[in-house]
Structure 1
Amino acid sequence: MVSMGCTMEISKIKKNILKPKGVAIAIVAQYGVMPLTAFTLSKAFQLQGLMAVAVLICGCSPGGAFSNILALALKGDMNLSIVMTTCSTVLALGMMPLLLYLYCQGFPNLHKLLPYAQIVASLAMILVPCGIGIMINHYRPKYANIFMKVGVITLCACVIVVILLLFIDMGSTWLTVLHPSLIAICVIMPMIGYSFGYIISSLFRLNHSQRRTVAMETGCQNIQLCAAILKVAFPPAEMGPLFMLPMVFGFFQITEATMLIVLFRCYERFAGEKKVTDNNVNEPLKKLNADKPEGPQLL
């Protein structure tokens, strides 16, 4: 998070706050598309009771800090990403109770059981280290590159380790104890979020880096917050294997995002090589055209 702060500039942060077009699009996608997607998938797979509630809680959660890490890997707009996640987390204090009240009518007291302290803690974990990174970039820019390189290396190592640990720890368990419909939803929902985030931001003509940023913010939910709500709201005996749902959702969220990052990096490298090749091929022709006299020549 400190390395992400080192990519940010105070002037650009102010611009995103004063002209919050990208932030507004991300908030609408986060609290409009994802809860509706969770509700629609719950109905489509005919989920009942706690299974539907667990899916809805995942869909109603704000964007997590992991969306910032993915935006960094996708060369997104980090100033926009951090501002979006901050606004999403702050709005979660009011939007999550409202959304859970609207979508979980069968559980009337659920919206009162939100772990507000954990939401505030998540906000602090985003703002404090990013603020340190911003100060480093502003007052000691020569050290910012060092933090960024260390951050990217740490990011790659952490993503690989997290995916492996989640798969090793739960791979033999969640396939047998979780309902197949829940696993299918965990696969489908993040990709819908990534796709709709990109499509909506394209319709509003954001630039390409901002589109990738909004896509990551929309598709990434705060899975730690989902797990905390399920733990606070329901006794373990009632939840049973459903307590694993946020972790499985997070596993597919990370895996699908990693696939998108790899595809983007391959495309970027291929497009860059093609551009260099085209320039090398066209250079002699451009030189020949430049040497030609313009207009009719008098003998």
Structure 2
Amino acid sequence: MEKLGVFLQCFVFALLVSNVLAVNITISNSGDNNDDDNSLYVFADEVEILKVCVENAEDISDLTLVAVSKDEDIFRIANDSLRFSVTTNETVEIGILGVFVGIEDIELKLERGGDVIKNGNHVIKVKRQPSILVVIYTWSITAWLLISYITMGCKMDWRIIREKLRRPYGVLIGAFCQFIIMPALSFGLAKLLNLDDAAAIGLVTIGSCPGGWLSNVFSLLLDVDFVLSLTMTFISTILALGFMPLNLFLYASQFTGDNENLKTPFFDIMIQLVTLVIPVFIGMVILYKFPKLADICLKCLKPFAVILLVMGLGLGTPAQLYVYFSDWEIFVAGVSLPFIGGCIGFGIAKIARIELKSSVTISLETGVQNSLLAIAMVRISYPQPESDLINRVPFLVVLFTSLEGTILTIAKVVVQKYFWKSGGEVEEVEIRNKGKHPEMIEIDGKKCITSVSVGIQVGEENSDNDDVSLDNPGFTKD
């Protein structure tokens, strides 16, 4: 009889519990809500209402609904109390105050007499307040990206690229580092640092990007193989059409979790990559068909690019201020990826016995990925707030890449000036043949045919020596 009594008690309790398991949560969002996403969207510093209704609980009294924010740095409960007395079919309105951009769960617990009968979570997504500054920053980044690709195309002389591709060791090593080493490295860093899903996707995205405009700039500033840098950037831009979606499929898909908005939009990315290749070929067509126009474009584009650079950096800090409040792991990822990638690229190049300048160029092309491409691509392809959370890492990567490259440039200048003085500097002079009968021009008192590129040793040593050895059969003395 005692066992029968215990069984009946358990049976009655099970019936009572079954009546409260049907808890429906309906969402009321006066803001911008995605119809395909049941999450509650709220802007920072604003309040949205989450409506919770308990149904089919006629036989149970003394019910209490408890709402808890899992991260009050992202959102808080705006009500005076976190506990709400509920009855059957009663709707409770819970105010959600957005604090900072992010994605976190609200925990809902249904209690009776202090015991938890049922609990569950619901996703809260906090978005940044709309700002004209963010719009201007986004468009300036997009314009900056397009101009950098057109400028790169205007410098792409196919004859020079063909010469580099005849012995493509440096280009092949660079492609291997960019599309095999860097994506795997970014994935490993994301796992090692235990980044949140959005930050991990951002790290893998920047690790899967090709080289870009910034690597060409630092190749010039550091006086390494600029032609190789341009060739590698051009080739990696073409290869990215296939390798970037592939690497995102292999690595980024590991971090999408249950959030459908984090899934990689492969079709959108392919369209953007194809679209960005077009400006490169436009620049090349301008160079070949309208060389004078190419010269004018280069003269005009450089100042315009400087203006966009200043705008990007000047607007980037206030527009992306939320990035600076990221966790320390995200900062470590932003510093580590370009530095470790550059070191690996340099090491592989030296193991392959590539000469020093070309090895440094490969290092730059490996470590300095196209952060502008990653930022623009993420902003266009992903919804808010996912795009803001993903872009934290690419923004920090471009920031620290610029800082690291600037430090290297300053160090090079200081070392050359004070610790490693040489008798002269090599000045590259490129002269194009403008007709069938090349004219003789005079450079530093020497005559040279205009159809070749010559390297002239200038400085004290050269001024005292009338015998200048140049690899140019058209070079003659006065």
Do both share a fold (TM > 0.5)? yes
**In the superposition, relative to structure 1, how do residues 62 and 6 fare at CA in structure 2: closer, same or farther (>3 Å)?**
closer
The match for 2:93 is none
**1: CA distance, partners of 2:264 / 2:244:** 10
**Residues 233-271 of structure 1, C-alpha deviation per residue, up to 9 Å, x if partnerless?**
432034454434322221111111111122122223335
Please say if 1:234 is aligned against 2:382.
yes
**2: CA distance, partners of 1:241 / 1:70:** 28
The one-letter code sitting in structure 2 at the alignment partner of 1:55 is L
The one-letter code sitting in structure 2 at the alignment partner of 1:215 is S
**2: CA distance, partners of 1:7 / 1:270:** 33
The match for 1:118 is 272
The match for 2:179 is 31
The match for 1:225 is 373
The one-letter code sitting in structure 1 at the alignment partner of 2:183 is P
TM-score, normalised by the number of residues in structure 2? 0.49
Within the candidate set 331, 344, 364, 1:216 is matched to 364
**Residues 33-86 of structure 1, C-alpha deviation per residue, up to 9 Å, x if partnerless?**
211211111111112322211211111111112211221222222221121111
**Residues 164-203 of structure 1, C-alpha deviation per residue, up to 9 Å, x if partnerless?**
5544554x53222x22211211011111122222222122
Q: Is the 8 A contact 2:379 2:388 kept in 1?
A: no
**1: CA distance, partners of 2:277 / 2:165:** 17
Which residues in structure 2 correspond to 1:126-141 (within 5 Å)?
A: 126-129=280-283, 132=286
Distance apart, 1:28 and its partner CA: 0.5
Within the candidate set 261, 265, 285, 2:413 is matched to 265
Please say if 1:94 is aligned against 2:242.
yes
The one-letter code sitting in structure 1 at the alignment partner of 2:407 is M
Structure 1 gap ranges (5+): 281-299
Say which SS state the counterpart of residue 105 (structure 1) adopts: helix
Bigger-Rg structure (1/2): 2
The match for 1:296 is none
Which residues in structure 2 correspond to 1:42-57 (within 5 Å)?
A: 42-57=190-205
Which residues in structure 2 correspond to 1:1-299 (within 5 Å)?
A: 11-103=159-251, 104-107=253-256, 110=264, 112-129=266-283, 132=286, 163=313, 165-167=315-317, 169-170=319-320, 172-176=321-325, 178-270=326-418, 273=421
**1: CA distance, partners of 2:394 / 2:323:** 11
TM-score, normalised by the number of residues in structure 1? 0.74
**2: CA distance, partners of 1:268 / 1:134:** 37
Question: Which stretch of the first structure deviates more once superposed, 88-97 or 264-273?
Answer: 264-273
**2: CA distance, partners of 1:135 / 1:216:** 31
**2: CA distance, partners of 1:86 / 1:62:** 9
Q: Which structure has the highest strand share of the two?
A: 2
Q: Which structure has the highest helix share of the two?
A: 1
**In the superposition, relative to structure 1, how do residues 211 and 130 fare at CA in structure 2: closer, same or farther (>3 Å)?**
farther
Say which SS state the counterpart of residue 173 (structure 1) adopts: helix
Larger RCO: 1 or 2 (CA < 8 Å, sep 6+): 1
Say which SS state the counterpart of residue 254 (structure 2) adopts: coil
Q: Is the 8 A contact 1:86 1:123 kept in 2?
A: no
Say which SS state the counterpart of residue 110 (structure 1) adopts: coil
Distance apart, 1:88 and its partner CA: 0.7
Say which SS state the counterpart of residue 32 (structure 1) adopts: helix
**In the superposition, relative to structure 1, how do residues 39 and 83 fare at CA in structure 2: closer, same or farther (>3 Å)?**
same
**2: CA distance, partners of 1:110 / 1:3:** 30
Question: Which stretch of the first structure deviates more once superposed, 187-196 or 125-134?
Answer: 125-134
Say which SS state the counterpart of residue 255 (structure 1) adopts: helix
Distance apart, 1:105 and its partner CA: 3.4
